[in-house]
Structure 1
Amino acid sequence: MNFALMFRYCIFGLPLILCLMWEIPLAAQTDGNWTSFTDMNSSSEFIYDGSLIWGAAPGGAFAFYRDGTLAKKLTNIEGLRGLELNTVEADSAGNLWFGAVNGTLSKFDSDGNYLTYYFIFKRRNVIDEPLIIYDLSADNEWLWIARQEGISKFSIYNNGGEIKENIEHMGSLVRPDVKVVFIDDNRIWFGTKNGIGYADKNSPFLPDGAIWTVFDSGNPAGLGNLDIRSIAYFDGHVYAGTAYGVYFYNESSYPGTWNLSGLPEQEINSLRLSADTLFAATNLGPYYTAGGTWQPYNMAGYPGGEVDDIAHVPEAGLFAAFSDGGFARYNGLWESFYLPGPRGQDYGDIVATENEVWGISYGVADQPGLAINHFDGTTWENYTDANSGLISDVFYSTAIDSSGRAWFGYWGNGISVYDQTDSTWFNYNHDNSPLYGVGGGYVVISAIGVDADRNIWMGSFKANLPHGIFILKSDSTWQEIQLSENGLQSNWFSRIILKGHQALFPTLEGFDMLDYGTDLVNTADDVWHHFDKSSDLISNASFDADFDNNGYIWICSDGGLNYYDPQFDYLDSLPLPFGFGPAVRNIEIDGLGNKWLATPNGLLRLSPDNTSWTSYTTTNSQLVNNDILSLFLVKSAGILWIGTMGGISRFDTGLESPSLELTEIRTYPNPAGPKFAQKVYFSRVPFGAKIRIFNIAGEKIQEIDATNDNGLTSWDFQNSSGETCAGGVYIYHIITASKDYSTTGKFVLIR
């Protein structure tokens, strides 16, 4: 990529704070096609731009219409450079600004089209440390940034956008984390966990802490709580929403005093002014005042719950964002709603077929998971113990069997199976099956596997010895594999991997491998192998494993990557590239032999010959989050589903074994064009095949030779003369080198 890169320096106090700006629109990655799925069912901040209500969410940005229906979603695919957002603001030109936890400031136009972004960071030696952005306040040509360790005054228009100065000393407060910033006529106000203060916004000496008037523990001036959550101007006074109560500033005599306005027992998350009324989002719901006492806002029928922010829209009512997720709108009646998409951000397990995916925002012990999420290619459904046959919200593992039934392992309640054909649920636990757990009845199913004979293998985590693997066979009978001296060594299961007559059991106490021969029931011919640190396993805490195309077994652990050659009974390790690992949480191996690895630092691909690495991070790809928890590869389609700490990525790798008879050729994206990607891709094209592209008039405009062994060939929208082709419908014809097979299709090019 050719990026125009500009550093903006401002040395108005130490340490040095910099703003790095990308001046051109984002370019597509060079291979594959990405989609992001994130949870936007909460909002730390709303703004109303006159037509849409915009929200800053943990998974990106969204906008809904005045009736509550979804209008837009913005993720990294649309250009956001940070998805965990704290704040959104509109400037005087109508452009939208989004501040993120990773220090990025993303700029979009009023229609939600990406314009540019800036990176606010602190330079320490040679390491650039991002500064969390907490709040934004627009003031004509200025954007005031409340951030970690202070405030930045940002010029919106000068040199395309740059930091003018940094403010890190306000009275007695030195480098405080500023959670809120507010402009009141000629003053700039700030709020922290330890106090509030103001100064003349036009002063040329803002970095000088002496010019600030600050109310903190040394000078509270009547402020009963110093943890400032929000600031607003109402009825001739500045109001402060705190961790306990709303206060207003009385400046009839310098330096002024603070008086309690109301709600002294409530947490005030946000204050909003609309139509001469001041609204408060609190832990007990929305409140308002027109200048007198505070009143609950139309609580009849209120769905309940703590509110993070509110937006009052004339003639459309009041919108509330709940801390526990979801929204509500009051316009005569309260109506609750959720935005479509997955629930939760951390996906510890994920399984898929060509037609669907299940992703678990999982729970452990007494920490509940948020939801089990199902996507059928068009629609997301979210399952919880409140709206389905799930018997608990502490779910942990999942699998899909050959009949399309979905299995879900609980932390303490056994396992449930969901049959989509008739929407029925059934639970297996200690009371109605042989399942045995901790103390008998507390059954943690931490791993599930499905073999070719449709048997369901379940790992009972830390069950009372000697219990270990329970197998529900296709004939509805049960079989158990118990721990033994020469067999299964641990029941601290991470995964179960099954292929043919082999079973792999990564555990937190080593790695066990079983070859059960031709008969699962007959244990006389079972062959077991056990590996741990004493046998050169990098770490005993193994997480996952897989078989490659050459018969090797690859083992992931919190210490790195091992491989085992069963022919020579040889175990060795392979170091990861610098900056990745050491933990490898998951591995998937595609039909070409590429090894895909999930790490806390991004996605890695090891070539089939094990000699070269390719990395995918949020910096060089459209991966939704670098902290990867789970992978699932749909080998027949070359689609990699990636569960992360920040949502789900779907990566259409294009790395599939070639379709020799051309029966499984895919073209993507379709529609194609610069808005979607810089090329159109043809997957599974055999080496040596020819792709001929025709316009709608039947004229051949380009011919491409398939020269990639990985089956992926692309067209850059140029004709044989090197000219860029116009938008329209195009036809492709592919013929193999032997001329025995051919296929034809079409796609749309949009300019």
Structure 2
Amino acid sequence: MIQIISKIMKKKIYLPLIFLVLIFKLVFAGIGDWTTYTNKNQIQEVTLKDGELWCATTGGVVMLDTQNDSISQLTNVDGLGGNYLSSVALDSSGNLWLGSSNGTLNKYDSKEDYWDVYYTFVSGEKTFSIREIVADEEILWVGSDIGVSVFNPDKPPHGEITETYKRLGELLNVEADVNSIHLVGDKIWVGTEKGVAFAPKDYRKVNLMDYINWTSFVKESSPGLTDDYVYTVTDVEGEVLIGTRRGVFKFAPVDSSWNSFGLENRAVRDFEYVNGRLIACTNGGIYIHEDGVWSHLSNTGLSTANLNSVVMDESGSLWVGTAGKGISCYKENQWKNYVIDGPPGNLFWDMEVDSEGKLWCANEIDRASYFDGSQWTSLSSVPEMPTRRIVAVEKDKEDNIWFSSWGGGVIKMNWEDTTWFRYTEKNSPLKGIVDYPDYVVVSDIAVDEMGNRWFPNWEALDATRVLCVPASKDTFLIYYEDDGINSLLMWKVKADQGHLYICFRGEGLLDYNYNWTVEDKADDKVTHYTETEDHLSSNTVRIVEVDKNGTLWVGTSAGLDTLDLEWGRFRRVVLPEPLGPQVDVIAVDGRNNKWIGTQNGLGMINSRGQFEHVFTTFNSKICDNEIKAIKIDHETGEVWIGTTNGLSRYESGIAPAKDLSEVTAYPNPFVIREGREKLTFDKLPYRAKIRIYTVAGELVREIESGDKWDGRNEEGFLVSGGIYLFFVTDPSGDKAMGKIAIIRE
């Protein structure tokens, strides 16, 4: 078929098509692409393969070449089924297996350089969070948040869960998170957050579904066992050892008791047994047991003593995965640290793009950061940055950057000299909460068209509700309860056209109309919308936004609403599966598309009110389904999506052209096979019109709303193959022309 198309192109439309194809490759190569940004310094588990250190992290895979120290990073856009990884294992064929919290099982075939994702643990009634993997000949033992499963990866069509064991003995009578699986002879040992158990591993001969065939131990009824939160299980020449929150315990099979084996003051998270030495990885560094004595490896030079995993290479060097500080290596009696570049954490609560294109991020418990397009910078070291959670960020009309915090007040970075200043209850009218007067919660920031800055003061100890810093000033105006703001619990705010919209937790939505005069309250009006009176989906309002037509969009804990001004009430917007019901984020792009963030994915409503896209981790490369922030870069068209497990960037192609001659059509040539294909006019300005003609000048189709064409004429019939012309007219009357090549198959 390709050869046939090629001949047609050469014979009929060779020169125009080649020209258009070249334009397409140059301009549209990135449209629809995803990029993931995650913190990968929380190393969960490490393993070695052919001189490469493979690390399962909470943000994807890190591979360090131990020969030259080069580092590679892999995420879901590189083929992983999920980014939050808890386990990595090597099977007898040299394949690497990694388990993720979203239930995907990832196999890397290093010979073919290929990732294969198994969704077997996702397709059932409950999605398993995979926490541990151990390869055992042709099967895998998989530990999850509900128990242990036998997984056969070779069973068609794409692997099979042979059995799952949820109750591991009489004493472990509830589902428990599995932290460790270890095979000792003909037995399988399982360490969980509620105890430890073992059973014969030959599941074909022994019914492991029957809990009576498991032997379990918990601290309440197991002699010698004083802690049953088990991180890791190993054996030393057949003698079983477990690592717990309070040291190491050794199993005595004679009477099924446990004996303390030292390190009582340490959380022991991993073991490595090499050449008669037992190496313990703990929250206080590395300990080595040899000749009956524990010795502590010096922490001098170690980035953090809080460690999660350890492995020794052939040269005797120790490689450890740390809890938040990347990778460390102990070689020739000294530590060397490897910090992986990336954001300070994987929580993205809010974002802003400044005039230079930098992305500023509110990272909640990881405070704040910015990204300049190539490198991340954490702002934790800024003295004025509070240790509290940073929940919002906004740029004002003077390009100053403002952050608000949950407990630490408001922080401002002056754009001109990059100086920082923090506003608290001591130097501003901001107020703390009743029981803790120095705990100042400012839940959001809004900047209006005039440059006024607005700050909701959550649960202030007096009648203070909202504060405003007028444009070009540093003084505060205070709006009180008596001004009509009758709730203490204010979440998000939106300032638009002289109105301040305030989202309440449990008490609806407030429209505070300040009539463009922030210092004159005499002409202010207040409208309070509720579930009962105005048909809001819920009184717990999470977000509010105003689109380019002036329509009010409201996201609640129970759905998405728009305000119908004609009827004076809200109307429910039906969300497609699997979105919703809770809507946490709404953003409007340059074409008046509405981007809707929920706990189950991201949707896009086009300017015609139709859901054009629904993105989840199972149909796209978005990094997580729980959306917390969306920021549209109107200069580039990039959509930044903040989640609870990383940051995604989507190349939408929505940035309007500064010159209409930049508007182009793709894919070009436009191949029509089934009649469901769509052609997109890229960089089309909002409310621009498209007219499509034949080369003979006959009008084929006029598109007055949207940027898509389905290849049909005004009568609804598919057009014939050939060359077509399109004319663009924007609201100001400017015009431009382009060409489209149609191929019918």
Shorter-chain TM-score: which interval? 0.7 to 0.9
Cα distance change, pair 587–141 in 1 and its aligned pair in 2 (3 A): same
Q: 1: distance between equivalents of 2:638 and 2:353?
A: 9
Unpaired segments of 5 or more residues in structure 2? 1-28, 668-676, 694-700, 712-720, 740-745
Cα distance change, pair 737–93 in 1 and its aligned pair in 2 (3 A): same
Instruction: Give 1:46 deviation, angstroms.
Output: 0.9
Question: Is the partner of 1:587 in helix, strand or coil?
Answer: strand
Structure 2 counterpart of 1:527, which letter? K
Question: Is the partner of 1:128 in helix, strand or coil?
Answer: coil
Cα distance change, pair 264–482 in 1 and its aligned pair in 2 (3 A): closer
Matching of residue 239 in structure 1 with residue 241 in structure 2: yes
In 2, are the aligned partners of 1:655 and 1:711 still within 8 Å (CA)?
no
Q: What are the superposed Cα offsets for residues 146-176 of structure 1, whole Å, 9 maximum, x if unpaired?
A: 2344433333445476337325265545675
Structure 2 counterpart of 1:605, which letter? M
Name the stretch that deviates more: 67-76 or 275-284: 67-76
User: What residue in structure 2 maps to residue 526 of structure 1?
Assistant: 524
Q: 1: distance between equivalents of 2:457 and 2:260?
A: 56
Unpaired segments of 5 or more residues in structure 1? 1-28, 363-368, 669-677, 692-704, 716-721, 723-733, 745-751
Matching of residue 377 in structure 1 with residue 379 in structure 2: no
User: What residue in structure 1 maps to residue 394 of structure 2?
Assistant: 399
Match of 2:495 among 498, 511, 515: 498
Cα distance change, pair 611–264 in 1 and its aligned pair in 2 (3 A): closer
In 2, are the aligned partners of 1:68 and 1:329 still within 8 Å (CA)?
no
Q: What are the superposed Cα offsets for residues 586-612 of structure 1, whole Å, 9 maximum, x if unpaired?
A: 211223222222212222223323355
User: What residue in structure 2 maps to residue 696 of structure 1?
Assistant: none
Q: What are the superposed Cα offsets for residues 683-731 of structure 1, whole Å, 9 maximum, x if unpaired?
A: 315765999xxxxxxxxxxxxx99896447999xxxxxx9xxxxxxxxx
Q: 2: distance between equivalents of 1:532 and 1:389?
A: 39
In 2, are the aligned partners of 1:655 and 1:710 still within 8 Å (CA)?
no
In 1, are the aligned partners of 2:56 and 2:87 still within 8 Å (CA)?
yes
User: What residue in structure 1 maps to residue 660 of structure 2?
Assistant: 661
Instruction: Give 1:231 deviation, angstroms.
Output: 2.2
Matching of residue 512 in structure 1 with residue 510 in structure 2: yes
Q: 2: distance between equivalents of 1:99 and 1:591?
A: 39
Q: 2: distance between equivalents of 1:245 and 1:442?
A: 37
Which structure 2 residues correspond to residues 532-551 of structure 1 after superposition, within 5 A?
532-536=530-534, 537-551=536-550
Name the stretch that deviates more: 111-120 or 370-379: 111-120
User: What residue in structure 1 maps to residue 352 of structure 2?
Assistant: 351
User: What residue in structure 1 maps to residue 34 of structure 2?
Assistant: 34
In 1, are the aligned partners of 2:95 and 2:109 still within 8 Å (CA)?
yes
User: What residue in structure 1 maps to residue 608 of structure 2?
Assistant: 609
The percent of aligned pairs where both chains have the same amino acid is: 25
Q: 2: distance between equivalents of 1:219 and 1:464?
A: 50
User: What residue in structure 1 maps to residue 403 of structure 2?
Assistant: 408
User: What residue in structure 2 maps to residue 104 of structure 1?
Assistant: 104
In 2, are the aligned partners of 1:470 and 1:478 still within 8 Å (CA)?
no
Which structure 2 residues correspond to residues 186-197 of structure 1 after superposition, within 5 A?
186-192=186-192, 193-197=194-198
Question: Is the partner of 1:77 in helix, strand or coil?
Answer: helix
Structure 1 counterpart of 2:402, which letter? W
Matching of residue 134 in structure 1 with residue 135 in structure 2: no
Cα distance change, pair 111–422 in 1 and its aligned pair in 2 (3 A): farther
In 1, are the aligned partners of 2:514 and 2:524 still within 8 Å (CA)?
yes
Matching of residue 630 in structure 1 with residue 629 in structure 2: yes
Instruction: Give 1:117 deviation, angstroms.
Output: 1.9
Matching of residue 84 in structure 1 with residue 84 in structure 2: yes
User: What residue in structure 2 maps to residue 286 of structure 1?
Assistant: 286
Q: 1: distance between equivalents of 2:329 and 2:703?
A: 56
User: What residue in structure 1 maps to residue 426 of structure 2?
Assistant: 431
Aligned CA RMSD, in angstroms, stands at: 4.0
Instruction: Give 1:292 deviation, angstroms.
Output: 2.4
Q: 1: distance between equivalents of 2:335 and 2:429?
A: 47
Q: 1: distance between equivalents of 2:627 and 2:564?
A: 27
Instruction: Give 1:448 deviation, angstroms.
Output: 0.9
Cα distance change, pair 249–50 in 1 and its aligned pair in 2 (3 A): farther
In 2, are the aligned partners of 1:457 and 1:471 still within 8 Å (CA)?
yes
User: What residue in structure 1 maps to residue 674 of structure 2?
Assistant: none
Cα distance change, pair 658–334 in 1 and its aligned pair in 2 (3 A): same
User: What residue in structure 2 maps to residue 583 of structure 1?
Assistant: 582
Q: 1: distance between equivalents of 2:583 and 2:201?
A: 53
Instruction: Give 1:410 deviation, angstroms.
Output: 2.2
In 2, are the aligned partners of 1:460 and 1:470 still within 8 Å (CA)?
yes
Cα distance change, pair 151–466 in 1 and its aligned pair in 2 (3 A): closer
* Structure with the larger helix share: 2
Q: 1: distance between equivalents of 2:702 and 2:615?
A: 25
How many equivalent pairs are there? 667
In 2, are the aligned partners of 1:687 and 1:708 still within 8 Å (CA)?
yes
In 1, are the aligned partners of 2:451 and 2:472 still within 8 Å (CA)?
no
User: What residue in structure 2 maps to residue 649 of structure 1?
Assistant: 648
Question: Is the partner of 2:134 in helix, strand or coil?
Answer: strand
In 1, are the aligned partners of 2:608 and 2:706 still within 8 Å (CA)?
no
Q: 1: distance between equivalents of 2:361 and 2:384?
A: 17
User: What residue in structure 1 maps to residue 317 of structure 2?
Assistant: 317
Name the stretch that deviates more: 194-203 or 614-623: 194-203
User: What residue in structure 2 maps to residue 306 of structure 1?
Assistant: 306
Question: Is the partner of 1:494 in helix, strand or coil?
Answer: strand
Q: What are the superposed Cα offsets for residues 271-308 of structure 1, whole Å, 9 maximum, x if unpaired?
A: 12345432111232221123421111123444544322
User: What residue in structure 1 maps to residue 18 of structure 2?
Assistant: none
What's the TM-score, normalizing by structure 2?
0.79
Instruction: Give 1:478 deviation, angstroms.
Output: 2.3
What's the TM-score, normalizing by structure 1?
0.78
Instruction: Give 1:571 deviation, angstroms.
Output: 3.9
In 1, are the aligned partners of 2:660 and 2:728 still within 8 Å (CA)?
no
